[in-house]
Each structure stands twice: as structure tokens, then as C-alpha cells.
Amino acid sequence: MRIGIECGGTFTDVVVVDDVGRIVATNKVFSTPEDPSLAVLEGLGGLPDELVDGAELLHGSTVATNALLERKGGPIGLITTKGFRDLVFLQRQDRTRMYDLGYTKPEPLVARRHIVEVDERVSAEGEVLRSLDEVGVARAVATLAEAGVSAIAVCLLHAYANPEHERRVAAAIEAAGLELPVSLSHEVVREFREYERTTTTVVDAFIRPRVGAYLENLRSHVAERSIRSMAVMQSNGGIVPPEAAISRPVTMLLSGPAAGVSGAVTIAAAAGVDRIVTMDMGGTSTDVSFVEGEEPELATGTVVDGLPLRVPLVDIHTVGAGGGSIVHIDAGGLLSVGPESAGADPGPACYGRGGTRPTITDANLLVGAMPAGARLAGRFELDRDAARAAFEPLAAALGRSVEQVAADALQLADVTMAGAIREVSLERGHELDGAALIAYGGAGALHAASVAEELGIDRVLVPPHAGLTSAYGLLTASFKRDFSATWFQPDLAAVSAAELANACREIEAAARAEIAATGVAADGLVASWLADIRYRGQGFELAVPFVPGDEASQLLAGFHAAHHRQFGHSSEQRAAQLVTVRLRLTGEKPPVAAVQTAANDTPAGTTSILVDGERRDAPVLHRGGMSAPVQGPAVVADDTSTTLVPAGWLAEIDEHGNLLLERSAA
């Protein structure tokens, strides 16, 4: 057996598959953010022993993200090049809000008093301009030891080009007898741009004690339940043994959404769809990604809590409202949705957990898209009266009925979400024409068809167990590790195939050695390569696939084509530069079988649903029991999610157990 357990912000989801990849059990419990492992154990506790004994556990957790966001942890130290102590405060000198004189910059995770400079300097080419002042290093280490730091980050200028000085600083820390986690910038992210590399290294050091303690603790607890082995999800959509996550925890950030995309891609591939927009709508926001083919696009960095991180991650964009987004009237008297959210606690008014403000979920209940008697996570009955009470003040202020206001709010949320998806698709150079929308997350399937309609998309796929897609995604993920090294070539055209192949060989040997050190057999892993290339003078790069042995002309052709696709123009006359080489090592994909949904014999009911301002009776179907296509308006429910089939859409179950919605010709 293989068990996927995903700790999200609100729920911890459990999916169990057997050895040929069939889903055999699911479970859903409330998350326990203060110690996520409690929910993991509770989720496991709900499973029969025969499923757990000897099983493999695949785990996705917000523990790294929470450690960063909550900023709890002992002080950490940073050792940097003389003259550059303040990089983490200077940042990029820009701001994210335009008209706020009380602007405060994102606060670094390290205090200025714990940043010490050492005299040394390396050039962009890796040449040592000033040798490392070893006496100064010893003094710096002593200063940090005395300050009682719980981890040390080391980031020296141009260390990606020559890591020798960083290695010697690490040796000095060891020689001083300090048993502290040490993060070296050239190991965490061997790329240029000092602020981003420093911040990533500092974050890695900051979350290491907590992530390490969490994973060690969890591993010993699940071993007590006879779990055979454990693996952890990363932000790149791949899984690794806990050792790898403990030594490089920054790669665990934002892994939950990545798992969801991994699951969605697997489901889409099985259904024969090769161009998808994923829409993961949760309690507070909606995550969107665009996938062509079987591999989600990789981004090389993101921003968490204002701090830029250079880590390989599935390219996911947060575009808007979630089920918990609050509906309100703005200062000019217009109905608005979000950005404030009722979150998981207290949650929407209808959850009956103390929330009194109207949310999108309450609106769905009021218009009948979620049928009366609908249950949260299949268990807790939703309180329609509470939803109505929450909307009444808005209805009174606007002079419309509660149902009308709820419908207005839903339309506004859909239009806004569609607009945001269109903006991101334009920005990333993805075509929406002919794509299918894959909807999951607690609220995704309620909004999918109407958002698709706004986008001109005619096909929507709702996977089985759409409320558990991230947990399912854990079970479809392969082992994946990403490595990068800035290898600056000012004129790519002048680089020979042999030089490039040699550079790749060195990078790959080091990567395989690092993987072997975490106890994974590195032999069977497959290498794939990307080169970050730019036109001379550009401040950003595009990643172009290649294989070692390729001539520069092949890389250049790929770059011009990628540039044209993404930005609408390219120029073969302009000189191009190679900046960074990226290596991914991937293991075998686990077996995945078509999902069998349990037949549900509960009689289908009806719901009174608001269509264009009028109440209509619409059938409520149990997804397992659907044998024939159904014309909207209709509602299809299963244990973890509810799908709205709007008027003008046709729904049926495909051979893989997906609910397929298509716009009717009429």
C-alpha cells in the first residue's frame, strides 16, 4: 500500500492506493497547524491496520511554510563579504504598494547584530581578488557563537563562481566545535544575484531546526504504526526521502499546491488531455497553473512573505478568491468580494464555527449550488440560516433579495477570477484556446464551469475525489531533485559542445553524489537539462531544454523560439548569453490506475437553484451513481466536493472516473 497524506491550511487529506495504483481508502480530518503531525496521526488512525502495516507514506506538509510565516525560532547568524552586511535590508530598493508612506519592508529573518562581515573578495569569474581573512573568520564565528545563534547562513559575493571561501568558513565553524546547522549559499542555490541567493540561504538556515525536528518526530511516530518508509513532497512536484528535506528544507516550501498539480497532470494525461489550466480553489485563494504535456512548467523562484526565494517550483499563480472570501460593500457602495477571507477559522458563516460575515461558500449555499443539507467534508451539515443571516445586511443595503446578492457575488467572483487567469496566461505566454480546465480543491468544482465560460473554455474536468487531489498527487509523484549552477558564458555562440558537455558532467557527478548521500540509489535516475539564456543586456533569462552534446547553435535556436513564444519577438542578430545550467534527476513514476468510484445508492434529490434570477428545480446526483449524461442545471456531489453543472452544460462520467463537463452546442 501507498498512503498519501497532505496537510493543508484547513484539512489534512488522506488517500490510500494499492500496489497497482487503485484508490482503496480516503480520509479527511481538520488540520492541526500548531503541530501538523497530530493530524497526520489522526488521519492514519482512521485507517484499518491492514492498510497501514508495511505501507509507504508520502507526505506533503505546510510545516516549512508555517515555520517561515510564523517566524518562530531562535536567532540565526549570517556571515557575508566585507562591505555587504546590509544586503538583506537594502533588498531591491523597490516596494509592492505605491501610495503608502507608512510602507514597511519585508523583515529579514536575521537581525543586523547577527550579521558579520569577513574580509575576502571573489570576482564574477571566480578569481580570488582578496584572500579570505582566516583570523577574521574565526572572530566572526566566535561572535555568533557568543550570541547563541541556532543556525548559521553563509553567503559570500560571487560564491557561485568559486565556493572555496564559503567552504573554508564552514570548516572554521566546525573547527570551533559548533554543532549548528550551516547553510552555504553555493549549496542552497548556486546562482548569481546576491540578494535573492542570500535570502534563500537565510530562509533555509532559519527553518532547518523546526523542519528537522518535525520530520524526525513524525518519522518515529509513523514507524510505531509500522509504516515501512516515508517520503516528502517538494515544491518542484517531486518526492524525496526525509534526509534530503531535512538538509535542504527550503525545497519543501509551497509543496502542497505542487502536489495538486502533479495529481491533476496525471489525471489529465490518463484522460488524453494535453493542454490544461488547473484551478485549485480552496478556502482563502485560488491557485492556477498552465500545463502542456506531462510536466508542469517549472519556475525558478517565488516570493513568500515578501522574501524572494530561488528554489525550483511548479509554476503556480494565486489569482483570487476562495470559498472563504468575504463579500462586502465597498466605500463607494459597490458589492465586492475579498481580498479579506474568513479563512479556516472561523470560516464561512454556514460552517457554524463562529463566522458571521458572508462568504462565497455561503453564497453558493444560498443560490442552491450547494444543495440544502450539504455537508462539509461529508460530515458537518452546513447551516443555511446562518448563511442567510450573514447576507441580510448586504441585501438590505443594496435593496435586493438575499439570493440576488448571493448570485451577484458569485458572478463577480467568477468574472474576477477569469480576468486574473487571462492576465496570467497572457503574461506566461499560454494559449487558453482549446485548453481544458481541471478543477479541484474544496470549492473548485462549484465555480469551474462558470469561470470556463467567462474564459471561452468549453471543457472542464473534475477528477474523482476532487477535494483530495493534492493528497492523490503525492501518490503520483516521482523522485525529483533539481540542481543549478551559474556558468556564465558572455557569448553563447562561442561555446563548444565539448565545453558545455564537460560542465554538465561536473554538475551531474556532484548531484548524484549528493543524492547518494541521502540514501537514494542514484544510478537509475534520468537526467534532464535546462539552460538559462538571455540576450546580452537583458536582466532576466529563459530556460531552454538541451542535452549535453548539443551544439551552441541548437541552444540558440531553442532560445529564439522560446523568446518569441513568450514575448512575441526574437532577434537572431542579437548576441545571447548562457547564464545558468539546470539539472533535474527524476526517478521512475509510480503506477497509477483508473479511479473506481464507489457506487452510491442514496437516492438523488433535487435542489432549488437560482438561474438568471429565477428559481428552478435541478437534480442532485451522486457521482458514483451517474450512468448517463446530464444536462445542466444540475448538481453532482461526492464525499469531498460538489460540482455545479450550469444551464448550457452537459455532464458525464468518463472512463477514468472523471466528471467531464462540456458546453452544449445550444
Partner 1 sequence: MTQQHQLGLFKSAFESLTREMAVNLRRAAFSSIVREARDFSVALADRRGAIVAQAECIPIMTAGVAIALQHALAELDVDALTEDDAILYNDPYKGGQHLQDIYLFNPIFLDGSLVGFAATTAHHVDVGGAYAGLSADATEIYQEGLRLPVSTFSLSRDWGERGFVRRIIEANVRVPDLVIGDLEAQLAANRIAQQRFAEIAARYGLEPTLAAMDELQDYAERRFRSAIRAIPDGEYRAADFVDGSPWGAGDIPVEVVLTVAGDEIVVDLGGSGPQVVGNVNCPFASTVSAVQSAIRCMISDTDIPFNEGCNRPITVLTEYGSILNPAPPAAVRARLTPASRVFNVVVSAMGQAVPEAAVATGFDTTTAFAISHLAATGDYQVVVEILGGGWGGCQGHDGADALDNPISNCANAPIESLETDYSHFAITEYSLVESSGGDGEHRGGLGIRRVYEALADGVQIAGYADRHRSGAPGLAGGEPGAVGRFRLTRADGRVEPITAVFSGTLDRGDRIEVLTGGGGGIGDPGSRSARARESDTTDGYAKEHQR
What residues line the site for partner 1 (CB under 8 A)? 83-87, 89-95, 98-105, 111-113, 123-124, 157-158, 160, 192-196, 330-336, 398, 400, 404-405, 408, 411-412, 415-416, 419-420, 422-423, 426-427, 429, 488, 537-540, 566-569, 571
Instruction: Give the separation between CA 555 and CA 542, rounded to whole angstroms.
Output: 11
CB of 200 to partner 1, least distance (A): 14
CB of 378 to partner 1, least distance (A): 33
- Closest listed residue to residue 485, CA positions, set 251, 167, 185: 185
CB of 280 to partner 1, least distance (A): 21
CB of 334 to partner 1, least distance (A): 5
CB of 289 to partner 1, least distance (A): 17
CB of 426 to partner 1, least distance (A): 5
Contact 189, 201 (CB under 8 A): yes
- Given the complex with partner 1, which of 171 and 426 has the nearer CB atom? 426
Instruction: Give the separation between CA 89 and CA 405, rounded to whole angstroms.
Output: 46
CB of 94 to partner 1, least distance (A): 4
Dig out the grid coordinates for 385 from the structure: 440560516
CB of 337 to partner 1, least distance (A): 9
CB of 450 to partner 1, least distance (A): 13
- Given the complex with partner 1, which of 426 and 501 has the nearer CB atom? 426
**Residue 514 CB neighbours (<10 A):** 18
Instruction: Give the separation between CA 587 and CA 584, rounded to whole angstroms.
Output: 10
CB of 87 to partner 1, least distance (A): 7
Instruction: Give the separation between CA 339 and CA 289, rounded to whole angstroms.
Output: 20
- Given the complex with partner 1, which of 405 and 630 has the nearer CB atom? 405
**Residue 554 CB neighbours (<10 A):** 14
Mark out the alpha helices in 176-254 (DSSP H runs): 185-188, 194-224, 242-247
Q: Give ∠ CA 97-98-101 in degrees, rounded to 5.
A: 90
- Given the complex with partner 1, which of 48 and 332 has the nearer CB atom? 332
3-class secondary-structure state, position 609: strand
CB of 236 to partner 1, least distance (A): 24
- Given the complex with partner 1, which of 537 and 603 has the nearer CB atom? 537
- Given the complex with partner 1, which of 22 and 422 has the nearer CB atom? 422
Contact 542, 563 (CB under 8 A): yes
If residue 232 lies in a helix (H) or strand (E), which one and from where to where? strand 229-233
CB of 82 to partner 1, least distance (A): 8
Residues linked to residue 381 through DSSP beta bridges, in sequence order? 375
- Given the complex with partner 1, which of 141 and 405 has the nearer CB atom? 405
* Cβ neighbours of residue 389 closer than 8 Å, sequence gap 6 or more: 349, 356
Q: Give ∠ CA 455-341-473 in degrees, rounded to 5.
A: 60
- Closest listed residue to residue 264, CA positions, set 448, 530, 10, 39: 448
- Given the complex with partner 1, which of 62 and 198 has the nearer CB atom? 198
- Given the complex with partner 1, which of 145 and 398 has the nearer CB atom? 398
Contact 2, 24 (CB under 8 A): no
CB of 330 to partner 1, least distance (A): 8
3-class secondary-structure state, position 616: strand
Using CB atoms within 10 Å of the CB of residue 50, give its burial: 0 to 12 exposed, 13 to 18 middle, 19+ buried. exposed
- Given the complex with partner 1, which of 217 and 571 has the nearer CB atom? 571
Letter for the amino acid at 132? L
Instruction: Give the separation between CA 563 and CA 572, rounded to whole angstroms.
Output: 11
Q: Grid cell 577574521 — which residue? A: 136
- Given the complex with partner 1, which of 429 and 625 has the nearer CB atom? 429
CB of 380 to partner 1, least distance (A): 32
Q: Where are the beta strands (DSSP E) in 39-107?
A: 56-60, 77-81
CB-facing half-sphere around the CA of 477: CA atoms within 13 A = 39
Q: Where are the beta strands (DSSP E) in 311-377?
A: 313-314, 317-320, 325-329, 335-341, 375-376
- Given the complex with partner 1, which of 335 and 503 has the nearer CB atom? 335
- Given the complex with partner 1, which of 89 and 547 has the nearer CB atom? 89
- Closest listed residue to residue 602, CA positions, set 624, 581, 569, 582: 624
Contact 280, 286 (CB under 8 A): yes
DSSP 383: -
If residue 449 lies in a helix (H) or strand (E), which one and from where to where? helix 444-455
- Given the complex with partner 1, which of 456 and 629 has the nearer CB atom? 456
CB of 246 to partner 1, least distance (A): 29
- Given the complex with partner 1, which of 160 and 440 has the nearer CB atom? 160
- Given the complex with partner 1, which of 426 and 521 has the nearer CB atom? 426
* Cβ neighbours of residue 345 closer than 8 Å, sequence gap 6 or more: 353
CB of 490 to partner 1, least distance (A): 8
Instruction: Give the separation between CA 656 and CA 263, rounded to whole angstroms.
Output: 14
Letter string b/e over residues 194-222, b meaning 16 or more CB atoms within 10 A of that residue's CB: bbbbbbbbbbbbbbbbbbbebbeebbeeb
DSSP 434: T
* Cβ neighbours of residue 293 closer than 8 Å, sequence gap 6 or more: 274
